[in-house]
Structure 1
Amino acid sequence: MGVRKKESALRRKEENKNLVIAKLNNCPTSPRKMRLVADIIRGKRVEDALNILKFSSKESARKLDKLLVSAIANWQAKNEDGDVSEANLFVKEIRVDGGSMLKRLRPAPQGRAHRIRKRSNHVTLILGEAKTATSN
């Protein structure tokens, strides 16, 4: 490995030390419905995001709430001495990607059949620590 590549890899590794990742794979909800909720909490502080998800009526919000709590638990496991309320955590990145599709057939009139696609998704949630206290 070249010197430049090695230095950039070490720098990227140092930057990612204060990031926490949580993943939800093969969630049986369409990616479009999940992105509607994910767009609402992107960039918000963790406390605000939890409140938004708690009072949302969408099914995707319950699944993202569970994922966000899991990411907070991952942060606590990484920083045993830190307090979540003082850490100033925020949702740095949230990605919703398409997962596998279950293909089913539904009977249609006159001997035809329509294909039903039951979509699933993968969600990746990355928490970051803000340097200064900001209020969103």
Structure 2
Amino acid sequence: MEAVAKLNNNPTSTRKMRLLADLIRGLDAEKALNILKFHPKHPSVPLEKLLLSAIANWKIKNEGARVEDANLFVKTVFVDGGRVLKRMRPAPQGRGYRVRKRSNHVTLVVDGRAAK
């Protein structure tokens, strides 16, 4: 049985977060956690917490099952654009340049592989 975890309005651009989401898509949960723990990009920290949250949600949903026996893996990860904060930055000759501070929404689904 699969479990879902969502992260809304994370203050990182969608493009940067998708680079990490592509790394862990389809991997075992333990391997994905290790990749995120030691990855140098700054969005790896909230994505690691999100994966831990999805694993905890799976534990709650499947009370009798153990995580080690279930062989959990990252079934799907997708990153959507969130709200964009528009700010102004001073520019030459009294003008102002618009700065767009982007955010994203991440949805992560973990599931157990069938025993062979």
Residues paired across the two proteins, number: 116
Percent identity between the two aligned chains: 61
One-letter amino acid of the structure 1 residue matched with residue 28 of structure 2? R
Aligned to 1:64: 47
Aligned to 2:110: 127
- CA distance in 2 between counterparts of 1:105 and 1:116 reads 6
Aligned to 2:79: 96
Query: Does structure 1 residue 113 correspond to structure 2 residue 96?
Result: yes
Q: CA RMSD in A?
A: 0.9
TM-score by length of 1: 0.83
SS in 2 for 1:101: strand
4+ residue runs of structure 1 moved beyond 4 angstroms? none
Q: Deviations over 1:53-96 (max 9, x none)?
A: 01101111110000000000000101111111110111110000
Which structure 2 residues correspond to residues 19-58 of structure 1 after superposition, within 5 A?
19-58=2-41
- CA distance in 2 between counterparts of 1:132 and 1:59 reads 35
- CA distance in 1 between counterparts of 2:36 and 2:85 reads 28
SS in 1 for 2:46: helix
TM-score by length of 2: 0.96
Give unmatched runs, 5+ long, in structure 2.
Answer: none
Mark the structure with the bigger radius of gyration. 1
SS in 1 for 2:43: helix
Q: Deviations over 1:92-127 (max 9, x none)?
A: 100000000000000100111110000000000011
Give unmatched runs, 5+ long, in structure 1.
Answer: 1-17
- CA distance in 2 between counterparts of 1:132 and 1:112 reads 64
One-letter amino acid of the structure 2 residue matched with residue 84 of structure 1? V
Deviation at 1:128, TM superposition (A): 1.6
- CA distance in 1 between counterparts of 2:67 and 2:41 reads 26
Of Structure 1 and Structure 2, the greater strand share is in 2
